[in-house]
């Protein structure tokens, strides 16, 4: 659906060139929710803006469907943008216009006949859950309601693609959850392709089918969201996963724990508790669970346990080797003699 091939994007600052994007190759499939995560300055906003032609690559090509953007005239680009809606972090609403008038402004820009405004406005207000607020002004709305207006406006001309530029960053956690649920529902109901950029790994975990991790203008890892959590390959990805799981022990605690401290990851049918029980019986060791968490990502179980193993050195080492073979995701965190 959306492809990036050999993309480089450079900006000139004085006499120097700065690479905002470097060697980007990426495919986003039709109908999926695709997340792009990275810190500020990683290049994710620049990558997003290439999709609707607000930015042009210095080298490489971008295509939406079968349409390559680099060869489009200004008129053709305007026509393409009718197929691409966009919502923003700070809503970008017209403060002097009501909810209905904000949506009408988007309909007018899309060239919809005025006789169709009323029916389409009512349809969109219902779709995003704003019944009863057609005559409200932005100042009378909560942050979540404002973002719903932004979504309704972005959907005014029935686009195939919805771009979300940090769409929940200005919202509280409860409202964020509500907006993410709405986006997920719209994705299923309308068959929208949603491309979502964020610096929040929780957003990726809750809504995205696949994700690209960006760092310093490069994509360092991409794949299904579950794979990112269960088997992160890059240090940047691992940091995001650790933040999402919030499963760390302070060094002062680790110093007081006897034996070897290990971190176990388990997925699907393999549960950490049952595997540990087998290790206790087989190797005659003692296991103390120090911390743990089980979560569900894309309807699949994913869990982490931090445990200490005590016993003779040979038995503990043999148990660790066996556990690593069973779970394929084990890390020795610390050792205190």
Query: Tens digits of per-residue pLDDT, 125-174?
Result: 999 999 999 999 999 999 999 999 999 999 998 999 999 999 998 899 99
| Together in a domain, 35 and 173 | yes
| Together in a domain, 178 and 83 | yes
Interval 264-268 mean pLDDT: 77
Percent of the chain with pLDDT over 70: 96
- Tokens representing 11 are 């900006």
- Residue-number span of the structural domain to which 276 is assigned: 251-336
Number of independent structural domains in the chain: 2
Residue 274 has pLDDT above 80, yes or no: no
- Tokens representing 249 are 């022990």
What is the model's pLDDT at position 105? Answer: 92
| Together in a domain, 216 and 312 | no
| Together in a domain, 142 and 276 | no
CATH number at residue 8: 3.40.50.300
What is the model's pLDDT at position 268? Answer: 65
Burial 140-159 (b: 16+ CB within 10 A, else e): ebebbbbbbbbbbbbbbbeb
What is the model's pLDDT at position 66? Answer: 84
| Together in a domain, 56 and 181 | yes
User: Which of 210, 243, 276 is the C-terminal boundary of a domain?
Assistant: 243
Q: What is the pLDDT of residues 173-198, one digit of tens each?
A: 999 999 999 999 999 999 999 999 99
CATH number at residue 281: 3.30.70.260
d(CA 114, CA 125): 17
What is the model's pLDDT at position 24? Answer: 96
| Together in a domain, 238 and 292 | no
| Together in a domain, 69 and 37 | yes
Residue 238 has pLDDT above 90, yes or no: no
| Together in a domain, 212 and 279 | no
Mean per-residue pLDDT over the chain, rounded: 89
| Together in a domain, 39 and 82 | yes
| Together in a domain, 82 and 12 | yes
332 forms beta bridges with 262
Residue 294 has pLDDT above 90, yes or no: no
What is the model's pLDDT at position 270? Answer: 58
The β-bridge relationship of strands 84-88 and 161-165 is parallel
User: Which of 179, 214, 243 is the C-terminal boundary of a domain?
Assistant: 243
| Together in a domain, 204 and 327 | no
Q: What is the pLDDT of residues 65-93, one digit of tens each?
A: 888 898 788 888 888 888 999 998 888 89
Give the predicted TM-score (pTM) of the model: 0.85
| Together in a domain, 79 and 163 | yes
Q: How far is CA 258 from CA 113, 273, 329, 335, in A?
A: 74, 20, 22, 8
Which positions ≥6 away from 165 have C-beta within 8 Å?
45, 48, 86, 87, 88, 89, 197
Q: What is the pLDDT of residues 197-217, one digit of tens each?
A: 999 998 999 999 999 999 999
User: Which of 189, 224, 243 is the C-terminal boundary of a domain?
Assistant: 243
What is the model's pLDDT at position 337? Answer: 42
Which positions ≥6 away from 61 have C-beta within 8 Å?
3, 4, 5, 6, 7, 68, 69, 70
């Amino acid at each position: 659906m959306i492809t990036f091939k050999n993309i480089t994007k450079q900006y000139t600052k004085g006499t120097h060139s700065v690479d905002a994007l470097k060697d980007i190759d990426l495919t986003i499939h039709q109908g999926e929710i695709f997340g792009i995560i990275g810190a500020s300055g990683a290049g994710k906003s620049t990558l997003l803006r290439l999709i609707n032609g607000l930015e042009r690559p210095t080298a490489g090509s971008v295509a939406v469907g079968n349409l390559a953007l680099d060869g489009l005239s200004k008129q053709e680009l305007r026509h393409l943008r009718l197929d691409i809606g966009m919502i923003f972090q700070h809503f970008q609403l017209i403060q002097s216009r009501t909810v209905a008038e904000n949506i009408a402004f988007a309909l007018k820009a899309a060239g919809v006949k005025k006789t169709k405004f009323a029916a389409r406005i009512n349809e969109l207000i219902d779709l995003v859950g704003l019944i009863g607020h057609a005559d409200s002004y932005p100042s009378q709305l909560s942050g979540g309601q404002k973002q719903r207006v932004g979504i309704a406006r972005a959907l005014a001309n029935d686009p195939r693609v919805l771009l979300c530029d940090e769409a929940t960053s200005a919202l509280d956690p409860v409202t964020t959850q509500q907006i993410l649920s709405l986006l997920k529902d719209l994705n299923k109901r309308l068959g929208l392709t949603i491309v979502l950029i964020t610096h929040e790994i929780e957003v990726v975990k809750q809504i995205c089918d696949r994700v690209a991790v960006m760092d310093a203008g490069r994509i360092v890892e991409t794949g299904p969201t579950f794979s990112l959590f269960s088997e992160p390959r890059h240090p940047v990805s691992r940091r995001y996963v650790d933040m999402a799981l919030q499963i760390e022990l302070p060094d002062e605690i680790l110093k007081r724990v006897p034996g070897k401290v290990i971190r176990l990851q388990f997925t699907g049918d393999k549960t950490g508790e049952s595997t540990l029980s087998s290790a206790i019986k087989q190797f005659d060791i003692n296991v103390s669970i120090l911390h743990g968490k089980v979560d569900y990502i894309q309807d699949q179980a994913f869990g982490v346990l931090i445990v200490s193993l005590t016993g003779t050195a040979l038995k503990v080492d043999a148990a660790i080797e066996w556990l690593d073979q069973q779970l394929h995701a084990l890390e020795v965190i610390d050792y205190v003699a």
